[in-house]
Amino acid sequence: MDLLFSGLLAVFLIQVFWKFNKPQSLWQLLMPILIILTSFGYLYLPSSMTGEGPPVFFAVTGTYFWWRRKFTLAGLLFMASFLSKYTFYLIVPGLTIWTFWQRNQYSRREIRRLFLTIGLFLLLFLGYHFLKSWADFRLQTHYVSNDLQYTLTNITILLSVLCLGAPITTILSISLPNLKNVFWLSAISALLILSRRYFYWHYPFQIIPFLLLYVFTQPELVRFIKKRFILLQALLSFAVYNLLPISAQYNSYLFPKHLSTVEMRAIDATIQTDYHGGKVGYYLNRRFDEPFPHYEISYLAPNWDFVIEDTEYVVIPSLGFPVQLTAYKQCKYVFAAQIGSNALYKVECRKG
């Protein structure tokens, strides 16, 4: 589903580019296709199969139609995004600011549609969370950090990954910002909210399509894009891809917290030699295709001792032992193996 909706989103972005830039040559016709194909972040991130494709597609298309003042259609797309995953939460601040700035430009008919759409969405929002006892809402807020230094560090990481994953789009968006553009505001809104959570490699995919939409709808930005820039972007994408663990045979020093393919297979094989159905905890190096029940150790809350008690192994990068585990005095961690840059520990806990 991620790859399907990422493909549909790419088609939508290409159509938007053609609509606003009126290609007069084969080069101009191919430009959006080449920009997307050489944007490593757009191609690689959906491959993590974390369910980002549908919510991002619905959120981006919804924002576009909201900008075009087709509030009913936009509202339906936002509802679909909300029911898919959390992407809509990320862009709400940007959408709200832009809508407030545009309030004097709406006709009475548009204002009625606007409030009707907002009202219907609020009914869905309250009804959904009420039926689920606000469990999803509490789960998302649990991952949010209020540490300013943590947030600033994550902003730096996100901007760095955006520059690696979509350099042309990111550099243009940073160099030539528009504080009254709904796509730019949505992208910045998503970046700031995601920076308060632990960084995952698929997070930039929540931002890149909004930046692409920002650039593609403004011909004055597109004219800065030259053939040599796309060639350089393609070379950078190729180089970065070959450094990432998904393609690297051995762990890369550039990404020490992430598992290489060789390490993944070695860890799986080691666990299988003495495995009895328990959970496997990963710390800052989580995969998305684990053959075992798994969880992310950094997300553990202080009162989640039942998770540790059901854990059979933990996989820890060589960066120190996480405090989330050492807090549980009833458990001990027996070293089992050193595989690449990751240590494997068998968990033994006293019940009760």
Query: What is the block-wise mean pLDDT of the chain (352 residues), using blocks of 10 residues?
Result: 85 96 93 93 67 89 96 95 89 95 91 94 90 74 75 89 92 94 96 83 88 95 94 88 53 50 83 90 66 78 71 79 76 88 86 64
DSSP H stretches of helix in the chain: 2-21, 26-37, 40-44, 53-67, 71-84, 87-101, 108-131, 135-142, 148-165, 167-175, 182-194, 208-216, 219-222, 227-243, 261-272, 305-309, 323-326
The residue from 210, 243, 276 where one domain ends is 243
In a domain, 251, yes or no: no
Contact, 183 vs 13, CB < 8 A? no
DSSP state at residue 250 = S
List, in order, residues 6 or more apart from 339 with CB less than 8 Å away.
263, 266, 267, 270
The residue from 243, 276, 309 where one domain ends is 243
In a domain, 299, yes or no: yes
- CA nearest 298: which of 202, 198, 201, 203? 198
- Asked if residue 9 and residue 150 are part of one domain, the reply reads yes
- Asked if residue 45 and residue 185 are part of one domain, the reply reads yes
**Structural domains of the chain, count:** 2
- Asked if residue 223 and residue 328 are part of one domain, the reply reads no
- Asked if residue 305 and residue 214 are part of one domain, the reply reads no
In a domain, 189, yes or no: yes
pLDDT at 37: 92
In a domain, 253, yes or no: no
- Asked if residue 321 and residue 201 are part of one domain, the reply reads no
- Asked if residue 64 and residue 142 are part of one domain, the reply reads yes
In a domain, 270, yes or no: yes
- Asked if residue 101 and residue 25 are part of one domain, the reply reads yes
The Cα–Cα gap between 222 and 215 comes to 6
Contact, 286 vs 296, CB < 8 A? yes
- Asked if residue 138 and residue 186 are part of one domain, the reply reads yes
The residue from 243, 278, 301 where one domain ends is 243
The Cα–Cα gap between 156 and 161 comes to 9
- Asked if residue 295 and residue 221 are part of one domain, the reply reads no
In a domain, 250, yes or no: no
- Asked if residue 302 and residue 236 are part of one domain, the reply reads no
Question: Which range of residues forms the domain containing residue 20?
Answer: 2-243
Contact, 81 vs 88, CB < 8 A? yes
Contact, 262 vs 340, CB < 8 A? yes
- Cα separation values, 165 from 37, 168, 190, 238, 348, Å: 11, 9, 16, 11, 41
Look up tokens 């009707």; give the residue: 116
In a domain, 281, yes or no: yes
Three-class SS state of 311: strand
The Cα–Cα gap between 35 and 116 comes to 38
- Asked if residue 183 and residue 89 are part of one domain, the reply reads yes
- Asked if residue 266 and residue 168 are part of one domain, the reply reads no
pLDDT at 303: 62
Contact, 348 vs 331, CB < 8 A? yes
CA-CA-CA-CA torsion for 302, 308, 314, 318, nearest 10 degrees?
A: 30
pLDDT at 266: 87
In a domain, 83, yes or no: yes
